[in-house]
Amino acid sequence: MTSLVSRVSRRLLGLLATLFAASFVIFAAVYAAPGDPAVFLAGGRDKLTPERLATVRAQYHLDEPLVVQYGRWLWDCVHFDLGRSFKYSDQVSDLVAARFPTTLQLVAYATVLFVVLGVGAGILAAVKRSTWVDSLVVGGTTLAASVPSFVAAIALVSLFGVQLGWFPVTGSGEGVTGTLRHLTLPALSLALGALAIISRVTRQAMADAAASDHVEVARASGVPERDIIRRHVLRNALGPIVTMCGLVMAGMLAGTVVVETAFGISGIGSLLVGAINTHDFPVAQAVLLLMVTGYIVVTTLVDVVHPLLDPRVKEATS
């Protein structure tokens, strides 16, 4: 137990260090992006005298050196103040809080879809190895993965949304059924790409597990095939499957931009795109940081959970 505590605290420290480094990189990157936020902040095209721009720069501290600005931002950040958006006069935290649940729901829905369908297809392929079912799963998922999510989004919208009218084409919906209905197509287009990876990993992990000695022993001693797959094969294969699911899900947190735009969903992704286009520094920084945090947290969780699922990893690390 103590080893777990020390491992988790080590992880936490690493997490903080990574966040700190990431926050600086993000800050510098947003700062270095082409374009001048003062131009946007100063208003219309015809008001942009050099004096006015200088005033605006001073007002928003844009004329200070990068490190000073970063320090100012970090100080506010650790005091839970993400600042006010340049574009919306609103608090950044309010903007993010209003949009984050939508993106989270979308990613959660997509995760359920790709885990259930992907792992299911992988198990099916592994059990029916080298049959036509196997080929069908591998072929089908490869095809699905080769379609970029924005193409899938457009195709799904035009078929199920516009032509058949089964699903709404914009917005994120209200209530449980409304949200489910609104987010089905977006989640599906997000999940399609992940299907191939997950099913392939599942199939391979199960094949590896099935080839191990204790499975041979169990089989020789007459344990029913169903139990062998459930208790021995799947259980031992769970480590890589969970790891991969976690990684893919973490990646999705940062990758909803395209799908949100195609479906007119106001989530974190579309907030980020808007912020970058308008040089809305505080928002872009906060969203990027949130995405990085989400990624780090999920991957750390996977790392922590992994040994619990697979005793062999635990032995190796402790």
Partner 1 sequence: MRTSQRGRHAVAAGLAATALLATASCSGADTAATGGAPADAAKLKLTASTPAAKGHQDKANWLLEDEPDSLDLDTQGSSAGRVVLTNVCERLYQLQPDNTVKPFLAEKAHAPDDRTLVLTVRDGVTFHDGSKLTADDVLWSLKRHADPDMEQADEFGNVRSMKKSGAREITIRFKAPDALFTKALAGDAGIVWNEKQVTAAGKDFGTPGQGDACSGPYTLGSWKSGDSLTIEAYDKYWGAKPLTDRVTFRWASDSALVNALKTGAADGAYAESPNTASALRGTKGIDQYYGPSTASLVLIPTARGGLKDPQIRRALSLAIDRTGIARSGYGGLVQPWATPVGSGAWGYEKQRFAAAQDELDDVAPASPTADDLAEAKRLVKSAGAPADPVVIGTDSSQGRTVVANAARAALQRIGLKGQIKTVPTAQFEEFYSDPGARADIDVLVGDWYISKADPMGFYDNGLSDSSNNWVGFKDKTYDKLVHRALGTLDDKRRASLALDVQRRFSDAAVWIPLAQVPSALVIDDRMTGPPASQSYLYYPWAARLGLKKG
- Residue 84: beta bridge partners? 91
Does 218 bind partner 1 (CB under 8 A)? Our answer is no
| DSSP structural state of residue 45 | G
- Residues whose CB is less than 8 angstroms from the CB of residue 240 and which lie 6 or more positions away in sequence, other chains included: 201, 204, 205
Q: Is 271 near partner 1 (CB under 8 A)?
A: yes
Rule CB under 8 A: is residue 90 a binding residue for partner 1? yes
Q: 18 or 261: whose CB is closer to partner 1? A: 261
State how far the Cα of 169 lies from the Cα of 171, in Å rounded to an integer: 7
Cα 73 to Cα 24, 114, 316, distances in angstroms: 10, 38, 41
Residue 174 phi/psi, 5-degree rounding, is -125, 150
Residues 118, 198 contacting (CB under 8 angstroms)? yes
Q: Does 170 bind partner 1 (CB under 8 A)?
A: yes
First vs last C-alpha separation in the chain? 11
Helix (DSSP H) and strand (DSSP E) numbers for the chain: 16, 0
> Is 98 near partner 1 (CB under 8 A)?
yes
Radius of gyration of the chain (CA): 24
Say whether residue 282 binds partner 1 (CB under 8 A). no
Cα of 154 vs its chain's centroid, Å: 21
Q: Please, which residue, 128 or 181, has the CB nearer to partner 1?
A: 181
Selected from 279, 287, 291, 302, the binder of partner 1 by CB under 8 A is 279
Q: Among the candidate windows 14-22, 191-199, 223-231, 272-280, which touches partner 1 by CB under 8 A?
A: 272-280
Compare residues 51 and 315 and give the one whose CB is closer to partner 1. Answer: 51
Residue 129-158 contact track with partner 1, rule CB under 8 A, x = bound: -------------------------x--xx
Residues 28-57 that bind partner 1 (CB under 8 A): 34-36, 39-40, 42-49
Q: List the interface residues with partner 1, window 99-118 (CB under 8 A).
A: 99, 102
* Residues in touch with partner 1 (CB under 8 A): 34-36, 39-40, 42-49, 84, 87-91, 94-95, 98-99, 102, 154, 157-158, 161-162, 165, 168-172, 261-264, 266-267, 271, 274, 276-279
